[in-house]
Amino acid sequence: MTADTPTGRRAEQTGPAGFVPAERRPAPSRVAHRTAVLVWLLAWGVATAAAATAVVDVDDVPTWVAGWGGGALAWLYTVALAHRVGARTTLWGAVSLLAIVGALVTERSWALSAVSVLAAVVAGVAAVLLTRPAATALGSLFEFGVALVVSAAGAVSVAGLNASVRTERYPLVVVCLALALAIALVWQLGAGLHGGSRRELAIVVGAALVLAGLLIYSQVLRAYGSEAVLDGVDDTVSWLQDHLHGVPRPAEALIGFPALVWGIGTRGTRRQRWWICAFGVLGTATLASSLAGQRLDPEYAALSAAYSALIGAVLGLLVRRIDLVVTGRRERDRAAGRRVLRTDEVVVLRPEPGRTQPLW
């Protein structure tokens, strides 16, 4: 249990600098905020349904409905992300609206491709930043589900835009841009790299090295791999496609989703754990870009995402559990008598703003 602060309030009631809890705001402000959130959710549902007509065959629905639905989703996610990070929502909303409407009206290939990249990037980053810290494994899975829903709707947005892109390069561009944006934002949330411990710094560096290793290995394997190795990889992929009708994606299953589940379950104790969540965009951005291209197989993409999410959730919970055990022992050794961790779950000592509130 935490001690009272000098002002007489408990530590659990404090938050980021400048953050005012919802219950302490004027009533008109709370009503306006709730109304805006409700309108956003209704618009999100309508836009998702419209964009989904590009994936699900619906009779007597014009093709332009999916495109405008995808564009509306991209704009809604841009506004939500700008609000979440405390940016000028009106400015970024207006700029993105002009770009999206211009691309849909002119139907230029390069413009639609740019908007498609925008939709996947903002959906992937928003999926991570809209999560909340969880004190239990079940809570971590719930927040992980929220991230999956947000990024899956981003994939529907990309499908609705139906831009002509090179499917072998498009996901890489989206992931690189999303990771760069996430790192820039998490630098503020995580107070830079200097605020973390050596172990947390090692985790960030290790994750970056693993990611670089996977990317380099995949490129080297394609360019210089022996025929036996390549045939083995092709046979494995073919077997998975024939029997499971989907193939887990390594970036999602091995790095992105485990990092997200792990970060959600531990960042309530230290804000530096946002750095772990930053690598979660490798999973959410990859999922958001999974329906890109004019030749897509929604069933294959959905099953691949499901398998990746299942593997990532199991690995994330396992790493989370190990981290709790190691961290709990260290905290008990350093601060005997001060109960920071329970024996099995995290006690969230550092609350974050609500899901619909700016993070800073």
What is residue 270's three-state secondary structure?
coil
Dihedral angle sign, alpha carbons of residues 49, 52, 54, 59: negative
CB–CB of 75/97 below 8 Å? Answer: yes
Q: What is the pLDDT of residue 299?
A: 82
Nearest to 308 by CA among 265, 270, 261: 261
Q: pLDDT in tens for each of the 360 residues of the chain?
A: 444 444 443 333 444 444 445 445 555 688 888 899 999 999 999 999 999 999 888 878 898 999 999 999 999 999 999 999 988 999 999 999 999 999 999 989 999 999 999 999 999 999 999 999 988 899 999 999 999 999 999 999 999 998 988 887 898 899 999 999 998 888 877 555 555 556 666 666 666 666 666 666 565 655 555 666 555 666 666 766 666 777 888 888 888 999 999 989 888 777 677 888 888 999 999 999 999 876 667 888 888 899 999 999 999 999 888 887 876 655 555 555 444 444 444 444 457 888 889 887
Rg (CA), the chain: 21
pLDDT at 286: 92
Q: What is the dihedral sign for C-alpha 5, 8, 13, 18?
A: negative
**DSSP secondary structure string, 31-76?**
HHHHHHHHHHHHHHHHHHHHHGGGTS--TT--HHHHHHHHHHHHHH
CA atoms of 280 and 263, how far apart (whole Å): 8
- CB atoms under 10 Å from CB of 275, counted, come to 28
Backbone angles phi, psi at 341, to 5 degrees: -125, 145
Report yes or no: 55 and 291 within 8 Å, Cβ to Cβ: yes
- How far is Cα of residue 172 from the mean position of the Cα atoms in its chain? 16
What is the reported pLDDT for 276?
A: 85
Where are the strands (E) in the chain, listed by range? none
Q: So what's the pLDDT on residue 230?
A: 59
- Beta-bridged to residue 4, according to DSSP, are 10
What residue has token string 């990070």? 85
**H or E element, residue 236:** helix 227-243
Which alpha helices (DSSP H) does 130-197 contain, by range?
137-161, 170-189
Whole-number pLDDT of residue 285: 94
- Looking at residue 166, its pLDDT comes to 85
